[in-house]
A and B are shown apart, each in its own frame.
Chain A
Amino acid sequence: MPVLEVSGLSKSFGGLKAVNDFNLTVEEGEIVGLIGPNGAGKTTVFNLITGLYKPTSGQITFLGENITGLPPFLIAQRGIARTFQNIRLFKGNTVLDNVRAVSHPTIKYNLFDAFLRTPRFYREEERVTREAMDLLEALNLAGKAHEKAGNLAYGEQRRLEIARALAAHPRLLLLDEPAAGMNPAEVRRMVELIRAIKDKFKLTILLIEHQMGMVMNLCERVVVMDFGQVIATGTPAEIRHNPLVLEAYLGKGATVA
């Protein structure tokens, strides 16, 4: 069973068709790259999958369940987590609490346990704190656990967003330009990091990226979007030589130099 199945997905804003009959299937354990020129509708696809936007038409199936039109928090609880292109951390909260907040749906104590600090409260708090610290450890942020998220360096904030997404125990992780604004060395480290977490947490990953090196390196399959539609799908090697893709990026008549 595919992890994610998107069929005939469309979204219009007023007259503008941001996403138009978009189809995509992602199989268990894949890393799929979603690329395309600016404004092609990639982030809109993420917003549709995570429920932030309601699709104009089409269907989104996650692990065999139709999740079209569910509110974002329920989709997240089904097992889809994401990061944001323009990092959206809980900036005023500590790094640790950014991660622990997202463990919320897994918590097994109720309001009265919290008010009265029952043994169950302590047990669960200890569990989520440990889990969060482990995640921070895995993303090399443990030393910053008690700093405010907003005070972290840019690269650290990107990693914290990933740590936070992982705290939701996702099956499918959507990464929106995880390497934006990074230098080649940092991009390399990010590639390693994504590979590592994929194996460690048994994830399926869909990622938007502009850094071609990263996409070619990491993804087994690449989907190219332009004007809200899929214009090509294939392995990185196939995509690299697809004339439609070159045209979308560089204009008509471009060839591989």
Chain B
Amino acid sequence: MEYFLEQVLNGLQLGLMYALIALGYTMVYGIIQLINFAHGDVFMVGAFLGYFGFAVWGLPLPAAILLAMVACAALGVTIERVAYRPLRYAPKIAALISAIGVSLFLEYFSSLKFVFGPNYRVVPRPFAEVNWKIAGLTVTNIQVIVFVVVVAMLVLLQFLIYRTKIGMAMRTVAVDHNAARLMGVNVDNVISFTFAIGSAFAALGGILYALAYPQIHPFMGIMPGLKAFTAAVLGGIGIIPGAVLGALIMGQVETLTAAYVSSQLRDAIAFAILILVLLFRPKGLLGRTETEKV
């Protein structure tokens, strides 16, 4: 029983990190209907910048995090500006191909020796790991940090989207670019802002990931990115609570499969569940399947 609960806690930690990444996927999809395959690589860049910040350049951890988030926000905005905006009104698939290109670019560029280098790097812990025993359960300070930070970010995002002017603009653009433009919304800026927020979250996710699983390399973003994206689809892509729900489910499925079935089959089972869910709810758990207007 305790083992089970501990696994659930581990799954929660993983799920919350997936949620941070999934938010970026889902916000971008909601606003420009693009599967931003490069998002997982922004996550990787965030992890590296955070690592360089506190482990190489000796910045305090919060400063390193802030630096990584700001830099990744800028990276996200640049990617959109350079690789996606020229294709915004082209067939959807063109932007997707561009996203695959950007993803490969970030991976291979980061692998160059004068950038991050092709090797695995071990991330030193910026603080000691502390274990607490609560009602027979072992809880680590990293789990607590992940939980607090992610929940704080979710609240912040919720506030941003539903209580601020830019949030309202984002919701408008998500419904209809042209109508938003006619209402005086600067669509380009809103899209840039969405990429900035999503990328900053991915950077934060990357650093938390590196703290929890302290090993980083230029291709580390592929699988978490794919899983987070899957989580977003599972919950209903474009729907923010859906991304969080999907991510939490993904985290549990993965950890529990690894604990009770086989860690090698982890990914297979996670994706099998995704396919099953889609068969019964073709637009994800929270997605609304509406009759197409004819």
Which of A's residues lie within 8 Å of B, judged by CB? 13, 43, 47, 52-53, 84, 88
Contacts and interface: CB of A to CB of B under 8 A. Distances in A.
B294 interface: yes
A84 B291 contact: no
Nearest to A53: B291
Give the top 7 A-B pairs by smallest Cβ distance, nearest first: A47-B294, A52-B294, A84-B294, A53-B291, A13-B291, A43-B294, A88-B294
A75 B285 CA distance: 33
Contacts of A43: 294
Interface string B41-85: 000000000000000000000000000000000000000000000
Contacts, number: 7
7 contacts: A13-B291, A43-B294, A47-B294, A52-B294, A53-B291, A84-B294, A88-B294
Interface in B259-294: 291, 294
A130 B291 CA distance: 38
A47 B294 CA distance: 8
A43 B292 CA distance: 13
Nearest to A44: B294
A86 to B, nearest CB: 8
A80 B251 CA distance: 51
A84 B294 CA distance: 8
Contacts of A84: 294
A148 to B, nearest CB: 15
Contacts of B294: 43, 47, 52, 84, 88
A226 B294 CA distance: 19
B89 to A, nearest CB: 16
Contacts of A88: 294
Nearest to B292: A52
Contacts of A13: 291
A250 B19 CA distance: 54
A182 to B, nearest CB: 21
A137 to B, nearest CB: 29
A84 B291 CA distance: 16
Nearest to B290: A13
Contacts of B291: 13, 53
Nearest to A82: B294
B56 to A, nearest CB: 53
A43 B294 CA distance: 8
Nearest to A43: B294
A186 B51 CA distance: 70
A84 B293 CA distance: 11
B266 to A, nearest CB: 39
A45 to B, nearest CB: 12
Contacts of A53: 291
A32 B291 CA distance: 28
A52 B292 CA distance: 10
A141 to B, nearest CB: 24
Contacts of A52: 294
A43 B291 CA distance: 14
B208 to A, nearest CB: 42
A52 B294 CA distance: 9
B292 to A, nearest CB: 9
A148 B291 CA distance: 29
Interface in B12-60: none
B172 to A, nearest CB: 24
A53 B292 CA distance: 10
Contacts of A47: 294
Nearest to A85: B294
A228 to B, nearest CB: 16
A14 to B, nearest CB: 10
B78 to A, nearest CB: 34
A5 B228 CA distance: 52
A38 to B, nearest CB: 14
A200 to B, nearest CB: 28
A91 to B, nearest CB: 13
A88 B291 CA distance: 17
A126 to B, nearest CB: 34
Nearest to A54: B291
A53 B293 CA distance: 10
Interface string B119-141: 00000000000000000000000
B263 to A, nearest CB: 44
A47 B291 CA distance: 11
B131 to A, nearest CB: 52
B291 to A, nearest CB: 7
A234 to B, nearest CB: 29
Nearest to A52: B294
B290 to A, nearest CB: 9
